[in-house]
């Protein structure tokens, strides 16, 4: 299956793109997607304990299953206001 990965702020800078596609095996979780990103962009690993994630623009958990066509977003600590 294929998912879209969205990255923001510093994560986007590290990867050099805000939107990427990833092909994943069946049964993949959000954590599978994150591991795939860290494997391609090792600098992302510094964010492992501080990021939030979202599936299809709704906050989610690393353990959540992902489906074909999903949009998975990884969010560094926020700084709005």
Partner 1 sequence: MNLTAITTAPLNQQAVAASLDTAGIGAVSVFLGLVRDRNQGRRVLHLEYEAYEPLALRGLDLIVAEAREQWPAVRLAIHHRIGRMAIGDASVVIAAASPHRADAFAASRYAIERIKQIVPIWKREYFEGGDVWIEGATADPDNAGAREQALRIACA
> Interface with partner 1 by CB under 8 A: which residues?
6, 8-10, 13, 50-52, 54, 57-59, 73, 75-81
Task: Specify the residue, 42 or 77, whose C-beta has the smaller distance to partner 1.
Answer: 77
Task: Specify the residue, 18 or 35, whose C-beta has the smaller distance to partner 1.
Answer: 18
Least distance CB 25 / partner 1 (angstroms): 26
> Are the C-beta atoms of residues 9 and 19 closer than 8 Å to each other?
no
Least distance CB 42 / partner 1 (angstroms): 18
Report the chain's C-alpha Rg in angstroms: 12
Task: Specify the residue, 26 or 57, whose C-beta has the smaller distance to partner 1.
Answer: 57
Closest CA to 20 of 45, 2, 43: 2
Least distance CB 74 / partner 1 (angstroms): 10
Distance CA 5, CA 50 (A): 18
Task: Return the structure tokens found at 57.
Answer: 């623009």
Q: Which H or E run includes 10?
A: helix 9-15
């Amino acid at each position: 299956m294929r998912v879209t990965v969205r990255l923001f702020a510093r994560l986007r800078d590290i990867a050099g793109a805000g939107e990427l596609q990833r092909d994943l095996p069946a049964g993949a979780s959000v954590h599978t997607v994150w591991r795939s990103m860290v494997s391609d962009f090792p600098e992302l690993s510094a964010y492992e304990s501080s990021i939030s994630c979202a599936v299809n623009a709704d906050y989610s958990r690393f353990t959540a299953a992902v489906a074909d066509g999903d949009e998975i977003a990884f969010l560094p600590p926020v700084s709005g206001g």
